[in-house]
Structure 1
Amino acid sequence: MFCAIVGGSDSNAKIVYRDQQVTAFLPLMPATRGHTLVVPNRHVADLTDITELESRQLGAAIRRTARAVRAAVSPEGMNIIQSTGDVATQTVPHVHFHIVPRWADDRMVLSWPTEAAEDDAAQAETLVLVRSLLPKSTDDVSPDDRRQHLSFIQAIVTRMSQASSSSKTWLLPIITLTYGYAVTKEQFWVAVLGMLAVFVFGLLDANYLKQERAFRKLYDKVASGGDIPTFSLNPSLAGPAGSRVNYWPDWEDIRSWAVAPVYAPLILVGVAIAVWAHCT
């Protein structure tokens, strides 16, 4: 629904401000007088997935809009609220900031826990972990470091592509031997063994493709100035927040033109040979 407002297709939208990067508008159900939303024009669901440039643009737009709202309705206070994820009460999967003017007698209720979630020792461990994973600002990354980082990622992409080609090359003599032997000796189980080899190599090839795609996303994010730690080779950092590396190929990898059209016919040939050998 926010994309419709940004794109101008919602004629009922109450636009406060719009430029090429950011849009501010009044919500359908304002919590208080002057309640305003600020969103990036690019559709992005998770705050950690916005680029550093977008974060600067959003910050500037929030400041401008908040000053205008404060001047317009003269609140006693103000909340700037951003929620990411269902458990954080995000209901629209598009990054947005609430600018909420506050008065002592308004209807807003914000409640913080009265007890600490971590003791000092646990908090110290969290501090070390967060510090170790804190990305450098793109302003602190030299062009030479970025080029070297991209070259490391590209080397992995190239290696995944070469491994994919090698898996097909290794499979050919195996299926030639097994299928040929199954035909000449009318051996059902040898044909099944050949099909098993095709399945294993196909799964391996799909995994290579999955990893290649993941590292290409990492390459694009580093090249665009995304918040990736310098020289990090963790492809999950280019995915949604909280994602982890999963080494099992997805359906889109299996049905890719580089996998399904190659291995599916070989499986069918094996099935045909196995059926023939079983019936003769």
Structure 2
Amino acid sequence: MSNDPCPFCIIVKGEDSSARVLYRDQDVTAFFPLMPATRGHTLVIPNRHVAEHVDLTDAESRQLGSAVRRTAIGVRSAVSPDGINIIQSTGSAATQTIPHVHFHVVPRWSDDDVSLVWPDRAAEDPDAQDQTLALVRSVLPFGSSDVSPEDRRQHLSFIQAVVTRMSQASSSAKTWLLPIVTLTYGYAVTKQQWVVAVMGLIAVIIFGVLDANYLKQERAFRKLYDRVAVGSAIPAFSMNPALAGPAGAKVNYWPDWEDLRSWAVAPVYGPLLLGGIAIAVWAHCQ
């Protein structure tokens, strides 16, 4: 198996500057291939890396089908073809070369160079077709794998509980820090001990990073909540907030710059940090 990165995933992440992206949303991406078969030839793919069409979720299938239809409408309006082929190949025997589900929307003209060759004779006689029909019917996955409304409500309740816990943890961090800062900074001023002031500064930094991380996790789970609420392709009861981000996204425990400078972090820890530095410098100069 090749370890090369999936070229379609690179396009989804916006890391291929040469890609001619028609549109991209949270679920699907449409773009022109490197070697279009005809004018307006477009590929439509799910943002999540899925090798074969049969492994898509029901929700992803609907999203992809809708995107293919909208793409075909747009292409037909733009280039006025005589017809359109919608092609999806699964497996190397079916000419799939990139293991990421994709649909070809191929505008066709009566004099184009595209050739889709079908055999001149039927692969099965009527009796064999009846047997195959019965076989496929016996294993056809009837019903829907969609999450029930009750399961979705419970899923949302679990996510909301995590959001609440993160908010409470943020408040607790501030509550624990204040007496530590009061004690260390007060002692440093009274006894002119700059080392104690530095200890207070270290506490401010540690609690500030923790608080910013709580904020980051809270934001990630809020995005997950929104995705589940609208019925996006999130597995039932999944608590992985990375699923609410772009394909390939990860949620780590190191806060981003936007978390550190947020209204919940910077206005609280910034003054404490500056005050501690001032006290440490003053005490050191005494």
The change in CA–CA distance for 1:250 and 1:46 in structure 2 (over 3 A counts) is farther
- Residue equivalent to 2:179: 173
TM-score (normalizing by structure 2): 0.61
Q: How does 1:73-88 map to 2 (within 5 A)?
A: 73=82, 79=87
CA distance in 2, matches of 1:190, 1:174: 11
Contact 2:46 2:64 in 1 (8 A): no
Q: C-alpha displacement at 1:80, in angstroms?
A: 5.7
- Residue equivalent to 1:194: 200
- Tell me, which stretches of 5 or more residues in structure 1 are unaligned? 1-21, 40-44, 82-87, 89-95, 109-135
- Residue equivalent to 1:158: 164
CA distance in 2, matches of 1:80, 1:195: 60
Percent identity (aligned): 62
Q: Secondary structure at the match of 1:100?
A: strand
Which of 273, 276, 279 in structure 2 is aligned with 1:270?
276
- Residue equivalent to 1:60: 69
Contact 2:81 2:107 in 1 (8 A): no
Q: How does 1:84-123 map to 2 (within 5 A)?
A: 98-100=104-106, 106=113
CA distance in 2, matches of 1:252, 1:167: 19
CA distance in 2, matches of 1:47, 1:171: 42
Contact 1:33 1:73 in 2 (8 A): no
CA distance in 1, matches of 2:252, 2:64: 29
1:252 aligns with 2:258: yes
Contact 1:35 1:98 in 2 (8 A): no
AA at the equivalent of 2:66: Q
The change in CA–CA distance for 1:105 and 1:144 in structure 2 (over 3 A counts) is closer
Aligned positions, number: 208
CA distance in 1, matches of 2:254, 2:196: 27
AA at the equivalent of 1:144: E
Which of 184, 206, 227 in structure 2 is aligned with 1:221?
227
Q: C-alpha displacement at 1:56, in angstroms?
A: 3.9
CA distance in 2, matches of 1:68, 1:140: 34
Cα RMSD of the aligned pairs, angstroms, is: 4.1
CA distance in 2, matches of 1:275, 1:207: 29
TM-score (normalizing by structure 1): 0.62
The change in CA–CA distance for 1:274 and 1:176 in structure 2 (over 3 A counts) is same
- Residue equivalent to 2:40: 35
AA at the equivalent of 1:48: R
Contact 2:43 2:103 in 1 (8 A): yes
